[in-house]
A = this chain, B = another copy of it.
Amino acid sequence: MMRNIDERTITDAVLQSIASTPDARLKQVMTSLVTHLHDFVRDVRLTEAEWQAAIAFLTATGQKCSHTRQEFILLSDTLGVSMLTIALNHAKPAGATEATVFGPFHTADAPHVEPGADIARGAPGRPMFVHAVVQGPDGEPVANAEVEVWQADDEGLYDVQRPELGDTRRARAVLRTDARGAVRFRSIVPTAYPIPTDGPVGAMLAATGRHPWRPAHLHFMIRAAGWQSLTTHLFRDGDAYLDSDVVFGVRSSLIGDYVEHAPGIAPDGSVVETAFFTLEPVFVLASAR
């Protein structure tokens, strides 16, 4: 009998309605979701005006999404749900490089480039030369690993945030490690930037007294047969937002050693007439077994 619904009986009524969910895992997830969702509504004694505001917020968040904008990932990121999910799924053995948030700006069509390429392809910023090594826990090189890198330019924008670029991709690339586990490329040094604030997530940040900034970082995604995939960032030491990253992605172990150099000969032998940076990170993968 489900004819006398009140604020106490409603939760059991909903749980009873999903009692015959065929997939056991889905039943577990939905049971927990309904229980926590109802507890939240009861705890705050949600008003009807607040319920209406929540419906409007969620609707606007969905309608802000497009093929170059994922506002629900941004919401998950800014509420710490993305980083929590990563922490739950990527506990690494001691010594392995830690994971962090994926973010909403990855694309499936980054260009594959040769060693030493300038992946910035005209994106504005100060030159940076990267020599990265991918290895196992005992220092063994991981050859033929796919290393994908992506970043914002020094105006704080990813290529997909610049309509004038159309489908042109820049400041992102896919490389392969050589026999010593190394990749090298030229790009630009990352700078801090605000996440997009022209949607519902921006309104949420403003209403809760939060700034929209992320500390400067390079995104890396590394995949190699026999090893756990790694999605991570390298942050810059001294960044003003390391302790208040709007998506909660910072870990001490992920702060990289970006070294600034006076104008002169770069690691690739070229002459650079402005100051430039070098970065020589080592990524330690965990075995897939």
Contacts and interface: CB of A to CB of B under 8 A. Distances in A.
Contact of A22 (B5, B11, B209, B245): B209
A195 interface: no
Interface stretch (A43-51, A125-133, A164-172): A43-51
B85 A2 contact: no
A248 B32 CA distance: 19
A47 B84 CA distance: 10
A18 B209 contact: yes
B34 A80 contact: yes
A40 B34 CA distance: 9
Nearest to A252: B3
A41 B81 contact: yes
Contacts of A26: 207-208
A28 B86 CA distance: 27
A14 B80 contact: yes
Interface string A81-122: 111111111000000000000000000000000000000000
A1 B243 contact: yes
Interface in A11-42: 11, 13-14, 17-23, 26-30, 32-34, 36-42
Interface residues of A, number: 79
Contacts of A250: 2-3, 5
A18 B10 CA distance: 31
Interface stretch (A55-63, A142-150, A216-224, A277-285): A55-63
A1 B23 CA distance: 42
A248 B13 contact: yes
Given A14-B248, A36-B39, A248-B14, A51 B3 contact: no
B42 A10 contact: no
A40 to B, nearest CB: 4
Contact of A51 (B82, B209, B210, B252): B82
A33 to B, nearest CB: 6
A273 interface: no
Contacts of A37: 36, 40, 79, 81
